[in-house]
Structure 1
């Protein structure tokens, strides 16, 4: 019969059942000793000494009298030696160590940092498009236009990125691709419209630059969410040619268009793959409101970064200095910051395994945060010092400027840490409040020390939130 477990031997002979494993050399008749050997075969094969089997036999509650009556051996040790000799050794292979769930390669994080920082060259190459007399609040021409487009893009793309990642966490990549396919073009259009609305008389070229900036932000969001950092890096490489001395002034805008076209083309190709047309899996759709705090955090953090760069704008007298040494140092530091976020995750999980009390675990979290934040601020300080030395006409970074930059860096890293644990609402509230305070201070003409006070207060509040929220073991569930 097809599919039967019985296999025939030569005609006239008996049939035997097929058992898909190697049989022992002894037969399993009705002998109780054979039956016991069959029942304990796997344990016997893995034992390294007969005494292990003796312990198992005794744990089953067998007395010497029972062993003698049923199996014909005087005690458990004699029976164990018999069992041990009947079965060949089959030691199990050593278990493979579990991979660290929060492992991240430093090289990959550094590549993301370069991808975050290279777009800053666009402000240098696009300087011919950003010239003109000073405008609103004494800012260089085109500054408000660029800021409006950038802030709109940050808010929209942060929310879109979170929504797409929410789909990816549900193992529904087609839904993530569809979300990016609908949201990225809309975000580019909103950023361009915001820039155009903020443009003043004679700032049409700056508005065009800001529209290109919005298109790039949308394309970069698509590629970063889908794990295409390397292609995006190669798309940005043409802009590095513009850093060479002696090139004609028209070369910069041309290189900008080349990199922009490459990034947009890569994003379109990523969204036109098979995943874009795959059917939905029927999973519950993540709520739009859950992505809103991430966008608000992007708004608050982005405004704080822009205020850190405004000092460079006033010193250089050009809207292109929005990507001055302070802003470049902050964006370039995002690569090491991301790696340190993963290290915090790994160290906190190790703390769960090594501590025996709630207070002990909270202390290990505080120590880990202190170390990781200290390393990040050290990296940021080095990048800022290098940027001030290499950026043309920039005085050495020191005093209150350096302190403010480091405090904003602390705000960014602790905010990102809270966001990675799902505590985005608290981080967004604190950062947006700080952004409003900085804006009001700028409008009323408050002294520069106000920025230092606001940044310090914000960093302290976020540090308290980290210790309170992440000091609980339940916050670190996988």
Structure 2
């Protein structure tokens, strides 16, 4: 039945959507409605002159709300849980698998070239991979899996190209060996491709495909022969190529036979509709990579003990992701049990405190492992202990950052990360002369504390808004 206006005539928008009810009923968000309207010949001019909307997207939002109002969605018995303990906790370890190949690779190109090249390419891969994943998650949530796959493929291609240019510049401009180009390209290809496999929840695939290279890398440490090192690196390249191939296939995957793929709006239309959210996400990824990498990059050659001290955070990144999902799951479950917003706020503070303590404890244990290694090799120092503590604090801050990112507060994250950068390295010139190593890592620890405390403010405020956790 068509809604009527006060004059007894059908509302123009209801008259518009009634013939398309069957198509519009399958739409899960306004962009799909906009695509259907455009396919029927509607444009911005018609939307303005006939329906009083500024453009087709505005008209689609109104049409979508009217269609959605007619449908009564089923209420699930329990909220869907997103936390996957084993798989998510292992994410940090999976990302770190190529580290087993570094001894063999450094024997071929030299640590003085390998480490700077890897720092640059890690930063590039971090920014491009996380930005592409952020866009892809948004597109998947809006029912556009093919567009999400295309974004991930594009990020991989751009990342490999940037790594090739960076390594080539080092080789031509600074006399680095040509092999560095191949190694940097391989490293960033693994970094972005492994992220794609984790995006599609193929952790087991990643572990299985990289295991031969990991075992060969461990074996090389006991042999330390140049020819064996070359074979180990070649095997690593083959394994990474398999990871890249699997990632590409996943992004190209189509629905099972018998399933009719839903029509998706053009990718440019999707990106244009989400353009406002893209620059903040990219900027936050850039600031995050800069904050962590600049703190360690200056020590990778002459103070490897300090660089090694931060390894606990890499191993614990999966734990942070898992705890963030646990918080969201528990928060949604709590909404079904409480009667008043104040009850949820109180319970949410307890959940936040529990998550923070869990991350602090886990990262402390994981950070103790590289410190124990440094102690056993006689390289433990006060600076390395402080650097490990700083990474524990920064990692716990990123747990809170994950929660805020899930709520779309990326601009808050950019501001907080920029303030942390203002402390380190921003305040480094204020130290008298060339800052000693211990003073520099202490400043990084202070920056981590500032970052953590700043993030707690918007997180505490968000707990009062129950609607965000439904």
TM-score normalised to the size of structure 1? Answer: 0.69
Corresponding residue to 1:161 among 133, 143, 157:
133
Instruction: Indicate if the aligned counterparts of 1:348 and 1:476 stay in contact, CA closer than 8 A.
Output: yes
Residues 317 and 389 of structure 1: CA distance in aligned 2, closer, same or farther (over 3 Å): closer
Q: CA deviation at 1:375?
A: 0.6
Q: Give the greater-gyration-radius structure (CA).
A: 1
Instruction: Indicate if the aligned counterparts of 2:320 and 2:398 stay in contact, CA closer than 8 A.
Output: no
- What SS class does the counterpart of residue 389 from structure 1 fall into? helix
Partner residue in 2 for 1:416: 402
Partner residue in 2 for 1:395: 380
Residues 122 and 440 of structure 1: CA distance in aligned 2, closer, same or farther (over 3 Å): farther
Equivalent pairs counted in the alignment come to 372
Partners in 2 of 1:453 and 1:387 — Cα distance? Answer: 22
Partners in 1 of 2:104 and 2:233 — Cα distance? Answer: 6
Partners in 2 of 1:457 and 1:331 — Cα distance? Answer: 21
Q: Is the counterpart of residue 299 in structure 1 residue 286 in structure 2?
A: yes
Partners in 1 of 2:371 and 2:103 — Cα distance? Answer: 15
Instruction: Indicate if the aligned counterparts of 1:126 and 1:256 stay in contact, CA closer than 8 A.
Output: no
Partner residue in 2 for 1:273: 253
Partner residue in 2 for 1:453: 446
- Aligned residue runs from structure 1 range 294-373, under 5 A: 294-307=281-294, 309-310=296-297, 313=300, 316=303, 324-327=308-311, 329-373=312-356
Partner residue in 2 for 1:469: 462
Partners in 1 of 2:165 and 2:428 — Cα distance? Answer: 25
CA displacement, residues 167-213 of structure 1 (integer Å, 9 cap, x when unaligned): 21112212222222333212221233234445651223434322222
Partner residue in 1 for 2:100: 121
Residues 470 and 159 of structure 1: CA distance in aligned 2, closer, same or farther (over 3 Å): farther
CA displacement, residues 30-65 of structure 1 (integer Å, 9 cap, x when unaligned): xxxxxxxxxxxxxxxxxxxxxxxxxxxxxxxxxxxx
Partners in 2 of 1:338 and 1:307 — Cα distance? Answer: 23
Partners in 2 of 1:161 and 1:310 — Cα distance? Answer: 25
Partner residue in 2 for 1:434: 420
Q: CA deviation at 1:436?
A: 5.3
Instruction: Indicate if the aligned counterparts of 1:414 and 1:463 stay in contact, CA closer than 8 A.
Output: yes
Residues 425 and 363 of structure 1: CA distance in aligned 2, closer, same or farther (over 3 Å): same
Residues 376 and 300 of structure 1: CA distance in aligned 2, closer, same or farther (over 3 Å): same
Partner residue in 2 for 1:217: 191
Corresponding residue to 2:166 among 183, 194, 200:
194
Instruction: Indicate if the aligned counterparts of 1:145 and 1:196 stay in contact, CA closer than 8 A.
Output: no
Partners in 2 of 1:470 and 1:307 — Cα distance? Answer: 33
Residues 97 and 214 of structure 1: CA distance in aligned 2, closer, same or farther (over 3 Å): closer
Partner residue in 1 for 2:70: none
- What SS class does the counterpart of residue 310 from structure 2 fall into? helix
Q: CA deviation at 1:316?
A: 4.8
Residues 109 and 317 of structure 1: CA distance in aligned 2, closer, same or farther (over 3 Å): closer
Q: CA deviation at 1:280?
A: 4.0
Partners in 1 of 2:156 and 2:175 — Cα distance? Answer: 29
Corresponding residue to 2:223 among 246, 266, 270:
246
Residues 411 and 155 of structure 1: CA distance in aligned 2, closer, same or farther (over 3 Å): same
Partner residue in 2 for 1:171: 143
Partners in 2 of 1:443 and 1:145 — Cα distance? Answer: 26
Task: Identify, as 1 or 2, the structure richer in helix.
Answer: 2
CA displacement, residues 76-107 of structure 1 (integer Å, 9 cap, x when unaligned): xxxxxxxxxxxxxxxxxxxx983442342311
Partner residue in 2 for 1:235: 209
Q: CA deviation at 1:379?
A: 0.8
Partners in 1 of 2:362 and 2:104 — Cα distance? Answer: 27
Partners in 2 of 1:288 and 1:114 — Cα distance? Answer: 33
CA displacement, residues 381-423 of structure 1 (integer Å, 9 cap, x when unaligned): 1111123224673427875333312211122211112112221
Gaps of 5+ in 2: 1-74
Of the structure 1 ranges 343-352 and 460-469, higher mean CA displacement relative to structure 2 is found in 343-352
- What SS class does the counterpart of residue 174 from structure 2 fall into? coil
Q: CA deviation at 1:111?
A: 3.3
- What SS class does the counterpart of residue 203 from structure 1 fall into? coil
Residues 355 and 113 of structure 1: CA distance in aligned 2, closer, same or farther (over 3 Å): same
Gaps of 5+ in 1: 1-95, 133-139
Residues 167 and 456 of structure 1: CA distance in aligned 2, closer, same or farther (over 3 Å): same
- Aligned residue runs from structure 1 range 249-268, under 5 A: 249=226, 250=229, 251-268=231-248
